[in-house]
A and B are shown apart, each in its own frame.
Chain A
Amino acid sequence: MSSEWPLWEVFIRGQHGLNHRHVGSLHAPDAELAIKNARDVYTRRNEGVSIWVVKSVDIAASSPSDKGPLFEPSNSKVYRHPTFFEIPEEVGHM
């Protein structure tokens, strides 16, 4: 029966967190019940102050097979990382 209900991705903003973070997914017939279910499944230990749900099918995702073209070019561009600057002692911890 649960296979007839759409899958929802759940995002929770924690007590001290600024952003909603993806915590998992669940099944529910609509958004209202998805939020209720998310409350019961993912905030039982006082984790959250705000819940977002979004239908899993509405998330556009990059394809794992595109990993090479998408991400590899940046691997060889070390100069994009700001690790070549000497930080003066006086600056201290950054």
Chain B
Amino acid sequence: MASAGIAVDRAALFEFLTRMGDNTLILGHRVSEWCGHAPVLEEDIALANTALDLIGQTQLWLGLAGEVEGKGRNADALAFLRDAAAFRNCLLVERPNGDFGQTLTRQFLFDAWHHVMLTALTRSADPRIAEIAAKAVKEAAYHLERSSDLVIRLGDGTDESHKRMQRALDDIWSYVGELFIADDTDRAMVEAGIAPDPASLRLEWDAIVSEVLREATLKAPTSAYVHKGGRRGVHTEHLGYILADMQFLQRAYPGATW
């Protein structure tokens, strides 16, 4: 195995990989809920593309996670046969879609983090992780370009669109902080040179977000309160509903294929 030379706790590495994969899985599923419902056809297809990009990345992250775990679970088993408490996604991505502005705000705040994170991961000491990041970072760059553009257009749009974007930002802001808080898993990754310290990404994220919000004439909320727990398996009630929807088929008809 390529990472044989890197001294890192296998369980911690598995934990880290499921965090990456569960973020993209849950957000991918959330975004896919727009399919057939977006405000215009072009946006519908764009959102479906984003969702598919994220699900594609999930296959890579969870596939590697299963390999690292070494218990015979593949990406499908991890996605469809774990319960909510075993999921490691941040709370931000399980927030409900709300209106288009809320979906877009969530997407933008995530994309900014995702792009900074993946860029750092392209320099990972684990070549498998660096390769996945190199592939995913191109998709994330496009996602960020697109969501930034739309946040600016709607923030600096009509009175109604501005009002909704500001409300969306105020609503979701407290779910972002979790992305930048390090725990033991993160410290083990930093020590092994596998992943950056989450806190070290904040400066660059702030720069991206504040520039876009300025152009969008939106105000970043000043509240410092942070909802957290997702990354260690403590989720909001929303995740259960997502999993019920997503996992129904494999739970009801184990091993079903098409």
A interface residues with partner B (beta carbon < 8 Å): 1-2, 5, 26-29, 32-33, 36-37, 40-41, 44
Q: Say yes or no: A2 contacts B146, CB within 8 Å.
A: no
Is B185's beta carbon under 8 Å from chain A? no
Is B85's beta carbon under 8 Å from chain A? no
The residue in chain A whose Cβ has the minimal distance to the Cβ of B150 is A33
* In the bound complex, CA of A41 to CA of B41 (Å): 9
State which of B39, B40, B46 has its C-beta within 8 Å of the C-beta of A36. B46
Residues of B within 8 A of A26 (CB): 41-42
Residues of A within 8 A of B217 (CB): none
State which of B39, B45, B146, B153 has its C-beta within 8 Å of the C-beta of A41. B45
State which of A1, A33, A40, A44 has its C-beta within 8 Å of the C-beta of B39. A1
Q: Say yes or no: B40 contacts A27, CB within 8 Å.
A: yes
* In the bound complex, CA of A40 to CA of B41 (Å): 11
Q: Say yes or no: A28 contacts B39, CB within 8 Å.
A: no
Residues of A within 8 A of B153 (CB): 29, 33
B interface residues with partner A (beta carbon < 8 Å): 39-43, 45-46, 49, 145-146, 149, 153
Tell me which of B40, B42, B145, B149 has the highest count of chain A C-beta atoms within 10 A of its own C-beta. B42
* In the bound complex, CA of A85 to CA of B45 (Å): 53
Residues of A within 8 A of B42 (CB): 2, 26-28, 37, 40-41
The answer to whether A36 and B149 touch (CB under 8 A), given A2-B41, A28-B42, A41-B42, is yes
The residue in chain A whose Cβ has the minimal distance to the Cβ of B52 is A44
Q: With A1-B39, A37-B45 given, name 7 new contacts (CB 8 A).
A: A1-B40, A27-B42, A28-B42, A40-B45, A41-B42, A41-B45, A41-B46
Residues of B within 8 A of A28 (CB): 42
Chain A to chain B contacts (Cβ below 8 Å), 17 pairs: A1-B39, A2-B39, A2-B42, A27-B41, A29-B153, A33-B149, A36-B46, A36-B149, A37-B42, A37-B43, A37-B45, A37-B46, A40-B42, A40-B45, A40-B49, A41-B45, A41-B46
* In the bound complex, CA of A29 to CA of B39 (Å): 14
* In the bound complex, CA of A32 to CA of B153 (Å): 12
Chain A nearest CB: distance from B156 CB in Å? 13
* In the bound complex, CA of A41 to CA of B45 (Å): 6
Q: Say yes or no: B40 contacts A32, CB within 8 Å.
A: no
Which 7 residue pairs are nearest across A and B when measured between Cβ atoms?
A37-B42, A40-B46, A2-B40, A40-B49, A41-B45, A40-B45, A26-B42
Q: Say yes or no: A32 contacts B149, CB within 8 Å.
A: yes
* In the bound complex, CA of A37 to CA of B47 (Å): 11
State which of A5, A27, A29, A36 has its C-beta within 8 Å of the C-beta of B146. A36
Residues of A within 8 A of B146 (CB): 36
Residues of B within 8 A of A44 (CB): 45, 49
The residue in chain B whose Cβ has the minimal distance to the Cβ of A34 is B42
Tell me which of B40, B49, B153 has the highest count of chain A C-beta atoms within 10 A of its own C-beta. B40
Residues of B within 8 A of A27 (CB): 40-42
Residues of A within 8 A of B149 (CB): 32-33, 36
Residues of B within 8 A of A37 (CB): 42-43, 45-46
